[in-house]
Each structure stands twice: as structure tokens, then as C-alpha cells.
Amino acid sequence: GDVAVLVPAAGMGVRLGPGAPKALRLLRGEPLLVHAVRRVAAAPSVGCIVVAAPADAVDDVAAMLRPLSSPDVRLLVVAGGASRQASVALALAAVPEEFGIILVHDAARALTPPELVETVAAAVRGGHGAVIPVLAVVDTIKQVDNSGIVVGTVDRSVLRAVQTPQGFSRTVLTSAHAAAVDDHTDDAGLAEKIGVPVHTVPGAEAAMKITRPFDLAVAELLF
């Protein structure tokens, strides 16, 4: 495959509660990161996966993921950084030169279907420099002030919830990170900052991010 996938997995998982770093927490007996990487590796476009692991777990993570590497899918593990953005930048620096399409995918989206990886990669291959999977927002959204009083109701029809993998041409992702001044929760936000149009494709409910204990319970049931 012509696609490299960066998997930031160095977060602590504070919102999930006490325990191991989130990517190493178990879902049906296996770490979330193993679930995520297995699904990414199953996408035919993918030729390389670079994981940003907690700094003290790089060797353990490399050993854990070794069975998922193959002649078709090279697997690299680097130490992550203090923010998601820093972890992505460190993984990006390790991508071999031959990969011109780069996806960024949260380890916490452990059940993301390989088909979504293909959809995003295909849109980048088709000429979009930045691509994100999105879902319609189902809840009514209100803006509130500091004391919790409603300021107004936001028009939901123009809003989208954003998932990963997010896909980029290598030049767009590299330029976006090089230009980054403040911290962003996603990479498309950095591409927006440098004026790159961001294309949307339909997301997948199974690509939900495991953030809180309720999400982990839902993921267990989805199996």
C-alpha cells in the first residue's frame, strides 16, 4: 500500500479513570491499541503504521504489535509527546519517504472498520489534500455563558462530529504541523489554519472514540 497511518497512543486516559495508559487498557482481553492497529493493518491501502507510544512503554508496545506486522505492513513504534499534537509530530517524523499519503488515527477509536480507512485514503488519492470522516450531530446543541445560562441554540444542521482516521497528502500534513503555533485536538484543524480546504466523507458509528468508562462498556457490547 501507498498509505502510512500514524497512531497517537501516548495519552494517559484521564477521563477513562485510573489505570494503565488508555491505549493499553483491555477490551475483550486485548489492549485498545492492538484492536485499533489490527483494523488499520487490514486495510489494503496501508503499507506502514507508526505508533506513538507512552515513552516508558515503547519496547513493550513494539513487542505487543510485532505479530500484526507483515511483509505488506511495516510497523514502527516511537515515543509520544506531552500532547496529542506532539505525538503526531513525532510519529510523522518517522514515516519513510516513499509514503505520499498519511492518515492520522486515534488508538482510542479501537473498533474503526478497515473500510473507513480505505474511504479516507481513496479521497486523498482522488486529489483532496485533507479529508475527515464526519457524522451528523444528533443532540440539540446550546451555547451557554459562564454561569450555565443558555445564550442561544446552535443550528445543528451545519454541524458535524469529527472522527479519525483523518487523511492528508504528505505535503499538507507536514506543512500544517510545521506551521502549528497553538495546540489543536485534530490535525485537520492545523490544515484549516494554513488555508487548506478540508473535504468530508461519511464517518462510521463504530469509529466512536473510547473516552469515558461508558464508552468502554459500549465497545465491549459491540463485539
Binding site for Mg ion (CB under 5 A): 11
Minimum Å gap between C-beta 41 and ligand CTP is 16
Q: Which one among 94, 204, 211, 215 touches ligand CTP, defined by CB under 6 A?
A: 211
Burial of 125 (0-12, 13-18, 19+ CB in 10 A): middle
What cell does 86 get? 506532539
* Neighbour tally for 172: CB within 10 Å: 23
Question: Is 1 or 11 the residue whose CB approaches Mg ion more closely?
Answer: 11
84: contact with ligand CTP by CB under 6 A: yes
What are the C-alpha distances in Å from 104 to residues 42, 49, 120, 208, 223?
Answer: 16, 10, 10, 15, 24
Stretch that binds ligand CTP, among 9-17, 111-119, 171-179, 197-205 (CB under 6 A): 9-17
Query: What is residue 143's three-state secondary structure?
Result: strand
C-alpha cell at 204: 462510521
- 57 in contact with ligand CTP (CB under 6 A): no
Q: Does 12 bind ligand CTP (CB under 6 A)?
A: yes
Please count the other Cβ atoms lying within 10 Å of the Cβ belonging to residue 156.
Answer: 13
Q: Is 165 in the site for ligand CTP (CB under 6 A)?
A: no
Binding mask 26-55 toward ligand CTP (x if CB under 6 A, else -) reads --------------------------x---
Binding site for ligand CTP (CB under 6 A): 8-15, 22-23, 52, 80-84, 87, 106-108, 209, 211
